[in-house]
Amino acid sequence: MTLRITESRIMNANGLALTGSALLCLLISGAGEEGLRAFVRLTAWQATLIFSAVLAGKPLETLIPNGWTRSLHARGRVLLKALAFSMITHLMALCLLALVFPEPFWSTLSSLSLAAGALAYILLGVVTFIPERFAVRELGPRSWRRLRGAALGFLWIVFAQTYLSQVPEEPSAFAFFSLLCLVALLLGVARFRSRPQEIVQ
Ligand code: HEM
């Protein structure tokens, strides 16, 4: 299957999943604040799964090289676009929440969370929508790799911190936090395994 066909399949499946989530929230929790908040959370959950797939591609290919892991790694860029799409939906749902149900939205939102969230969006936009060839030409491959790593690392922190703060009340938050830790562990192990071995004389 060509890369372009799977690209459109991934984007379509993501769009369908977001539409399905919206309908589910509407049916189960209604069109009020509860339904909207449920949708905000579902978009974040979906984004977490895609984000984990983006991060896991390279280490999985290093540790278990086969057709499937190679294909997951090769689709990192389109998965990043799908992640951005889910996060834009998260933001649109939040804007709606802030407009239609301003309280307790604004009173529970700290300036630090707002700043961290805004920075996360800017970084996600930079690594997703700036064409890789252009970035490599302007910055050089090393700086671009570093910027991409820093952006994904910052996103990891925002996801992990959000779930960690919910762990006492929400069992689902513990599951997603564990998934993020597992992916970080995979990255660490793969980096350790692929580092150049010292030659012992
Ligand atoms: C300024 C931008 C952002 C604002 C104002 C914001 C606000 C919110 C709010 C109010 C909720 C909770 C909805 C509810 O349960 O009632 C939520 C959920 C969530 N947000 Fe955001 N968010 C922002 C950006 C982000 C970013 C950039 C990420 C990740 C990189 C993120 C990750 C999450 C996660 C993981 C949840 C679900 C938490 C859970 O299931 O317990 N958010 N967000």
Residues 158 and 145: their CA atoms lie apart, in Å, by 20
Q: Of 114, 126, 131, 125, nearest to 84 (Cα)?
A: 125
pLDDT tens digits along 128-137 = 999 999 999 9
For a mutational test of ligand 1's pocket, the pick from 45, 90, 91, 166, i.e. the residue with the most ligand atoms closer than 8 A to its C-beta, is: 90
Question: Beta-carbon neighbour count of residue 87 at 10 Å?
Answer: 23
> What is the whole-number distance in angstroms between the Cα of residue 160 and the centre of ligand 1?
11
Residues 151 and 148: their CA atoms lie apart, in Å, by 5
Mean pLDDT of 153-166: 97
Residue 201 scores a pLDDT above 50: no
Question: Tokens in use for 46?
Answer: 């979906």
> What is the whole-number distance in angstroms between the Cα of residue 44 and the centre of ligand 1?
6
> What is the whole-number distance in angstroms between the Cα of residue 170 and the centre of ligand 1?
14
Report CA-CA distances (Å) from 92 to 14, 148, 149, 165, 201: 16, 25, 26, 23, 60
Ordered alpha helix ranges (H), the chain: 3-29, 33-63, 67-74, 76-100, 102-105, 111-129, 132-139, 141-166, 171-194
Domains and CATH numbers, the chain: 3-194 (1.20.120)
pLDDT tens digits along 80-131 = 999 999 999 999 999 999 999 999 999 999 999 999 999 999 999 999 999 9
Instruction: Check whether the bond before 104 is cis (ω within 30° of 0).
Output: yes
- Cα angle 9, 14, 20 (rounded to 5 degrees) comes to 125
For a mutational test of ligand 1's pocket, the pick from 33, 45, 94, i.e. the residue with the most ligand atoms closer than 8 A to its C-beta, is: 94
Mean pLDDT of 147-165: 97
Q: Of 145, 86, 93, nearest to 121 (Cα)?
A: 86
Residue 127 beta carbon below 6 angstroms from any ligand 1 atom: no
Full-prediction pTM beyond 0.85? yes
Residues 154 and 116: their CA atoms lie apart, in Å, by 9
pLDDT band at 193 (very low <50, low <70, confident <90, very high): confident
